[in-house]
Structure 1
Amino acid sequence: MEFIKGVTFGYMSQRGEWEKEEAFESLRLLKERCAITHVILGVVAEQETIHATQIDWQDVSVLSDQEIKKMITFAQEIGLKVILKPMVNIADGMWRAHINFFDHDVPCEPKWSDWFASYTTFITHYAQIAEDTNCTMFVVGCELVNSDRREKEWRQVVSAIREIYKGLVTYNCDKYQEDRLTWWDAVDVVSSSGYYPIDKWEQELKRIEKVVEKEQKPFFFCEAGCASRTGSKWLPNNWELEGSVDSSGQKEWYEEMFRQTDKYDWVQGFGLWDWKSKLYPIQKSDTDQDYALYGKPAESVIKFYFDKNKKT
């Protein structure tokens, strides 16, 4: 696997948004301003609650297949390699990690078997798009922490994906879960969400290193980022953290993350979080508290790092 200089693009985009010229211009600016070689396209579908068993990936709000394919083609035309990442969110605002059911099926209660049946239909649909458009990698799941223990079902999901998609396959586990997954051997690439506190990178990388050594597979951070908000550098995974704008804190976090990860050759890239398909005016970048990178000091740190990094 080549080194991934990537950023996640278009998370939470709704149907029609990737058909607009501003979305293509946003991706072009991302490549130019951050020196990326890869883009992770996040396609989001929802289920009603954490106990729902139906994923509404055919809802009218979800990006259409046509616009997804068109964005993939455009990314490739401007020289980017594409990682396709279908994601499940919860309509009521709960985090996908909390999707959960009884370990053993009970009549009249929602079941893992029903959820995985729906999930397999959802994820294989996008695997076919990834295959048809020659995507470099496919992400079979993201931060579905409570489901991680369902090893048998996940192996079946990966097997179904491989019947369709012939490229590299990864699962994006959540932070702190890298050494808990028992089915890394089923995928080609180990990846996780690197939302670690600015002062904890060294200890977490040493922990993850043991997983990489055991699995003997490539590793990258499929997500990694920090909001430009006071306190976020100490708790970057808390997107609900209250505070004022702190672009310098976000910049410091990226500098430290790159400094620490550079010590380990097995860290083979990033899918940094994130870049919107509809950008705010750049003159308002100093008022944005989100993870977004556009126009902020962290953007320059990323461009410098990706420009100088010649790893392959």
Structure 2
Amino acid sequence: MPTTTTTLPRPLPPGPFHAITWGWTGTRGTWTTPDAQDSMAAMAELGPTWVVLAYAALQDTAQSTEIHWREAPALADEEIRAAVTQARTLGLRVCLKPTVNCADGTWRAHIGFFAEDVPGEPTWDAWFDAYAEYVLHHAALAEELGVDLFCIGCEMVRADACEERWRRLAAEVRAVYRGPITYNCDKYQEDRLRWWDAVDVISSSGYYPTGTWTEHLARIAPVVARHDRPFLFIEAGCPSRTGSPHRPNDWSLVGAPDQEAQAAYLDEMLTAALGTPWVDGVALWDWPAHLYPAHEAAQNDDYCMYGKTGAEVVARHFR
């Protein structure tokens, strides 16, 4: 039978979790430039209380068992230290969120291996050994920096079923990092994970289509009640693009730049999420380390709200 956690969860720091994800994907050399400093300062003007520092290391394919986190293009530790320092200067709490991507473009949710080991084939154990080494290094860094929340994984849908391996990793992270930990499940997965008791905070990517927020909040509510944990939409957002409110997770959707579509979605989502008592906060996706010029905002169709109508919506909800 799967093991369960017997210790009380570590609490989130008090106060609202009004967050924006900054710096994705964390390419080496991009986090310590004057542009990066200006970008985080501009983000802080919208009134967030937290910043999620999200960055990725690469593995070659979805079936690779080596993660290249020590070398470029992965961030160097000094860049993470610099970003945390600036966030503190701006009065922001910090969530550190190391992630993996596949160099061939396959989404990390498809990382997976045979259920039972086969000689000569890559295995879950080999992958989790490499992943744990990567995550534990950054958990130790989070402890050194006094980070307020640490995320042990993001949208690993096929890997989610490896319950005992995640429980073991969570316990190993707790041994080196004394703050609260979370896991960021993908959309529609909140009621499918079976090891929420191993983390302190339940988190998900809330890319739900416009008009469906009531439905999905009702589906998630029993999960939060059953586990008695804080809950965050640690990712949520929408490109400023025609049609994106109906498919907010689809960054490749073709459409014309549309600030109003993004603004309307953000208003709907933030009203629904922050107006739900058991939702402890939202982290918006996302804000790059290098911003486009403000005068080009009307032509930008990505998730960032800088210079767009959506920025006014976010500031109204966050302040």
TM class, shorter-length:
over 0.9
Aligned pairs for 1:51-90 within 5 A: 51-90=63-102
- Work out the CA distance in 2 between the residues paired with 1:263 and 1:86: 29
Match of 1:125 in 2: 137
Name the count of aligned residue pairs.
306
RMSD over aligned Cα atoms: 0.8
Q: Please give the secondary structure, in 1, of the residue aligned with 2:317.
A: helix
1:189 paired with 2:190, answer no
Match of 1:170 in 2: 182
Aligned pairs for 1:173-252 within 5 A: 173-252=185-264
Question: Which amino acid in 2 is paired with 1:133?
Answer: L
Question: Which amino acid in 2 is paired with 1:271?
Answer: A
Match of 1:161 in 2: 173
Match of 1:43 in 2: 55
8 Å contact from structure 2 (residues 20, 286) kept in 1: yes
TM-score scaled by length of structure 1: 0.97
Give the gaps of 5 or more residues in structure 1.
Answer: 308-312
Report the alpha carbon displacement of residue 201 of structure 1 after superposing the two structures with TM: 0.5
Match of 2:6 in 1: none
1:27 paired with 2:40, answer yes
- Work out the CA distance in 2 between the residues paired with 1:265 and 1:119: 35
8 Å contact from structure 2 (residues 97, 150) kept in 1: yes
1:14 paired with 2:27, answer yes
1:256 paired with 2:268, answer yes
CA deviation string 1:70-123 (max 9, x = no partner):
110111122111100001011011110000100111100110000000000000
Match of 1:92 in 2: 104
CA deviation string 1:198-256 (max 9, x = no partner):
11111000001111111110001110010111111001111111111111111110111
- Work out the CA distance in 1 between the residues paired with 2:139 and 2:70: 15
Give the gaps of 5 or more residues in structure 2.
Answer: 1-11
Question: Which amino acid in 2 is paired with 1:14?
Answer: T
CA deviation string 1:21-42 (max 9, x = no partner):
110111111101x101100001
Report the alpha carbon displacement of residue 259 of structure 1 after superposing the two structures with TM: 2.1
- Work out the CA distance in 2 between the residues paired with 1:73 and 1:129: 13
1:298 paired with 2:304, answer no
- Work out the CA distance in 1 between the residues paired with 2:93 and 2:105: 31
- Work out the CA distance in 2 between the residues paired with 1:8 and 1:116: 26
- Work out the CA distance in 2 between the residues paired with 1:232 and 1:43: 24
8 Å contact from structure 2 (residues 273, 281) kept in 1: no
Alignment counterpart, residue 150 of structure 1, candidates 162, 182, 206: 162
Report the alpha carbon displacement of residue 296 of structure 1 after superposing the two structures with TM: 1.0
Match of 2:300 in 1: 288
Which runs of at least 4 in structure 1 moved beyond 3 Å after TM superposition?
A: none
- Work out the CA distance in 2 between the residues paired with 1:261 and 1:18: 30
8 Å contact from structure 2 (residues 274, 281) kept in 1: no
- Work out the CA distance in 2 between the residues paired with 1:46 and 1:186: 26
Match of 1:310 in 2: none
Q: Please give the secondary structure, in 2, of the residue aligned with 1:148.
A: helix
TM-score scaled by length of structure 2: 0.94
Report the alpha carbon displacement of residue 264 of structure 1 after superposing the two structures with TM: 1.4
> Identity, % of aligned pairs?
44
Question: Which amino acid in 2 is paired with 1:136?
Answer: D
- Work out the CA distance in 2 between the residues paired with 1:134 and 1:259: 31
CA separation of 1:198/1:68 partners in 2, compared to 1, >3 Å: closer, same or farther?
same
Report the alpha carbon displacement of residue 48 of structure 1 after superposing the two structures with TM: 0.4
8 Å contact from structure 2 (residues 186, 205) kept in 1: yes
